[in-house]
Structure 1
Amino acid sequence: VDNLMKKVDSSPLDYETFSKLMEDALSEWLAADQAEQLLKDFRVFDKDGTGRMSINKLVEVMSMSGNSFTDSELEDLLLSSGVDGGTVDYRAVVQNHFFGDGSFAALGDWPALQGAKPKDPLQEATSLCEVAKMKAERGKIQEALELYQDALAGLEKTQARSLLASTLHDMARLQENNGEAEQALALYLRALTIREEVLGPNHFYVATTLDCIANLKDGAGQVEEALQFACRSLEIWERFFGREHSHIAKILYNLAGRRDLVGDTKGALEFYIRSLAIFKEVHGMRSGEVADALDGIADLKWRSGESKEALICYRRELGIREKLLGPEHSEVLELRQFITSLDPS
């Protein structure tokens, strides 16, 4: 009221001017009130107190509160989510949503001041996706898939390409878990195409989809194709984590096995050796990961006729497993017997 009085001073007001002043004041109050309430809601989910939140959770909370993002807001969020593992500063997002240049408060176009309007396709699709996730979590897979299908139909009418790709990816994962590998693969490939176009070829969301495709290809016995997708993913993850990260070591170890399956012994050995170096740095010399990598190297060396080097690796592996499991553990006894069979002396 004080602010209104200062704006008016002692000037006479007609109805139209008074109405506009009241609408502006109410719009600002609504924005501040809802922004404050949303921040309280977000703090409940911010268990670590970092001020950051995943985009999925952010969209879910905003949608549940009736404050769905616009197409452009979603695009901006998804394009900038490569920082800190796909999280965003929710305080900055709320500030921009309610008080930015294109916000309802800035435009004087607050929905609560107007009559009810039908949901736009993006808002409807976002709501359908959230309900689909809840259905899936409760084991109602078919209902969830039908909701995702309806959401996709709505998203096709919008410019929210990143959200379309995310929905395709989520639906594909659900179909994969439901044993519908062929349908899942088709959706993953569509999601990949869109993500590469919208986010660029080196975004971690692209890597995530590449991994899913590689796993499906591998499960279908298409090992060479699986390897191609997985190696593309590796390049992205190396940019994201760095070449010496433990996650990279796990990928290298798994890809070494795939390379071995397609007859690429040299490539497999290279990946095993790289994974071994990282595992030693991250976990120490006597870890299960180091033992596994040594086993892979030893096996390749033995099959390549390098028996001396193979036995050295096998014995190093044995020493680690004895320390970890004890000298009488079944795995240790089996490995010791295997080494003896290779070198009775």
Structure 2
Amino acid sequence: MNASFREVFEQFQGEHGFEPCALPQAMRLLGMNPTDQQASELQRKFGGCIGYEEFCKEMEELLARWLARDQAQQLLQDFQVFDPDRTGRISVQKLVDIMRMSGNVFSEAELEDMLLNAGVDGTTVEYKDVVFKHFFGAGSGCVVGDWESLKAAQPMDALQEAATLNTVAKLKAERGQMQEALDLHSQALARVESHAADHPTAAATLHSMAALKEAMGHADALELYLRALGIREKVLRPNHFYVATTLDCIANLMDRSGQIEEALRFACRSLEIWERFFGSEHSHIGKILYNLAGRREQLADLHGALDFYVRALGIFTRSQGESEEVADTLDGIAELMIRLGQTREAVDFYRRELFIRERLLGSAHPEVLQLRAVMASLEAS
């Protein structure tokens, strides 16, 4: 912090020291944006040139005030999202949720203290009282003038409101409050679509809604994923990793619903994007290839499945050595060889798998014993 203070101080230091008239420019270089009135008040505070230590002390105090003011403004705007009629009140639970997702870590005792004497009336609270007490109360270092300017601040635009709604929705989902999360995402989507239907935030919201609906067993999850995909393909680069993320979700959902061929089509499109993003040797590519092999196998395309398994095995072996994923892939290849009637080759792959399993699990592990039994049966046939 002092290094940047030193640079700013020296930049504006004149022949007789740091002149108070340079304070507004110094503040702007340090990330603050004082009004003309604030700049004038600050200049009047000092009668003459300012020394370095005095400058540092003043800037530290101003930065602390500025940060608190920014945090207070963000909270006020977040609260206003849930107060469309501008009554000045929201539910206590909503206020607590927003305080927790604000990036600050509050204990239960601290939250209770904030709510104390803050206009709590049954299940609602005057949120401005909470903000004032927390950021502008005794010992906060902030001044009432900052608070007065905050109260006149403009509310969020539609996209900012949507971002707040989506953040609170994710918090609800993490707590298992799925329907509440879905309702908040729906509100966020309405806000975004009032601004622009084909917007990245709309796609992100649709994707989150689809994931929730999928978890809740709703039949329209796929429709929402496809809408999200359409927007992302339109407004982002065709090879953007967000596009691949949605493609993966669609493929997995189709896979679980038995639409294996369609799932394979979406997964192959995803693979092309991830290979550009990670490179062809990344372990994530190996996992995708492994899953693609399983889908090919379900479609009875055994040779296509084998190709994917072999590619996955090469990636896993080079990137991980003797790992569980290498063993799993060897197992998949061995089972495929049996289906292709190549028993001897199957035993060879099982033998390589056995070597890894024994090292990872021990020779007495049930999986190892079962694998030995399978190999013995094949060798005896």
TM over 0.5: yes
TM-score by length of 2: 0.62
TM-score by length of 1: 0.68
Amino acid at match of 1:122: L
Determine the structure 2 residue equivalent to 1:56. Answer: none
Whether contact under 8 Å (1:63, 1:127) holds in the other structure is no
**Equivalent of 1:299 in 335, 356, 362:** 335
Determine the structure 1 residue equivalent to 2:199. Answer: 161
List gaps (5 residues or longer) in structure 2. 1-18, 26-34, 42-58, 79-147
Inter-CA distance 265–62: structure 2 relative to 1 (3 Å threshold): farther
Whether contact under 8 Å (2:77, 2:156) holds in the other structure is no
Determine the structure 1 residue equivalent to 2:214. Answer: 176
Amino acid at match of 2:344: K
Q: CA deviation at 1:305?
A: 2.1
CA distance in 2, matches of 1:33, 1:330: 63
Determine the structure 2 residue equivalent to 1:131. Answer: 168
- The answer to whether structure 1 residue 288 and structure 2 residue 324 are counterparts is yes
Determine the structure 2 residue equivalent to 1:227. Answer: 264
**Equivalent of 1:186 in 186, 202, 223:** 223
CA distance in 2, matches of 1:203, 1:267: 27
Q: CA deviation at 1:237?
A: 0.8
Whether contact under 8 Å (2:260, 2:295) holds in the other structure is yes
Q: CA RMSD in A?
A: 3.3
- The 5 Å alignment of 1:104-143 reads 112=149, 115-143=152-180
**Equivalent of 1:22 in 15, 21, 37:** 37
Whether contact under 8 Å (2:330, 2:349) holds in the other structure is yes
Amino acid at match of 1:171: M
Whether contact under 8 Å (1:4, 1:21) holds in the other structure is no
- The answer to whether structure 1 residue 2 and structure 2 residue 40 are counterparts is no
Determine the structure 2 residue equivalent to 1:329. Answer: 365
CA distance in 2, matches of 1:152, 1:6: 41
Q: Give aligned pairs, total.
A: 266
SS at match of 1:305: coil
- The answer to whether structure 1 residue 249 and structure 2 residue 286 are counterparts is yes
Whether contact under 8 Å (2:309, 2:333) holds in the other structure is yes
Q: CA deviation at 1:24?
A: 7.4
CA distance in 2, matches of 1:221, 1:6: 65
CA distance in 1, matches of 2:40, 2:216: 52
List gaps (5 residues or longer) in structure 1. 8-19, 42-60, 68-110
Amino acid at match of 2:167: E
Report which stretch shifted further, 136-145 or 266-275.
136-145
| Percent of aligned positions that are identical | 55
Determine the structure 2 residue equivalent to 1:104. Answer: none
Instruction: Map Cα deviations across residues 280-302 of structure 1 (whole Å, 9 max, x no partner).
Output: 11121x32221111111112222
